[in-house]
């Protein structure tokens, strides 16, 4: 059932992301990078609110629902939200250096790999 939760939630999340992309293209003359920024920030806020509500016991979710929402919907909408929650988890575990290393490392390495992949593909 976990896989079903991921797939169903992912369908909802990716459809929502596409809707934001289309809306940004219509409303903003230059949707890049605004559409991505919008989904990343909304996803980060949503995962923070949900994680806080769960931690504060103001919200309860079954394992299926939690997987559907966190991994499926928010993962399909943006993986940036998971990246931020992982960093928050490290900070809460009193590992601020690892949190900063996670943040900086993934940003720098991710950009470097994107650049490398782009240039490898252009020259192939």
Per-residue pLDDT reduced to its tens digit, 15-41: 999 999 899 889 987 777 888 889 999
**How much is the CA Rg of the chain, to the nearest whole Å?**
17
pLDDT band at 8 (very low <50, low <70, confident <90, very high): very high
Structure tokens that stand for 52 in this block = 């806080």
Percent helix, strand, coil in the chain (nearest 5)?
A: 85, 0, 15
- Return the minimum-mean-pLDDT range out of 37-41, 60-64, 66-70: 37-41
pLDDT for res 123: 86
The answer to whether residues 78 and 43 touch, using CB atoms and an 8 Å cutoff, is yes
Residues 77-114 have pLDDT tens digits of 987 888 999 999 999 999 999 999 999 999 999 999 99
User: pTM score, two decimals?
Assistant: 0.80
pLDDT for res 124: 73
Residues contacting 39, CB < 8 A, separation 6+: 16, 17, 20, 77, 78, 80
pLDDT for res 56: 93
Domain positions in the chain are: 2-78
Which residue is listed with tokens 């994107």?
114
């Amino acid at each position: 059932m976990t896989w079903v939760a991921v797939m169903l939630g992912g369908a909802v999340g990716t459809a929502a992301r596409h809707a934001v992309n289309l809306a940004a293209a219509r409303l903003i003359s230059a949707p890049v990078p605004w559409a991505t920024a919008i989904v990343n920030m909304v996803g980060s806020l949503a995962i923070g609110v949900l994680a806080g509500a769960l931690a504060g016991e103001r919200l309860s979710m079954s394992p299926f629902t939690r997987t559907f929402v966190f991994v499926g919907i928010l993962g399909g909408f943006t993986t940036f939200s998971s990246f931020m929650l992982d960093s928050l988890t490290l900070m809460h575990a009193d590992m601020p250096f690892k949190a900063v290393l996670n943040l900086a490392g993934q940003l720098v390495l991710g950009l470097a790999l994107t650049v490398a992949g782009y240039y490898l593909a252009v020259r192939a």
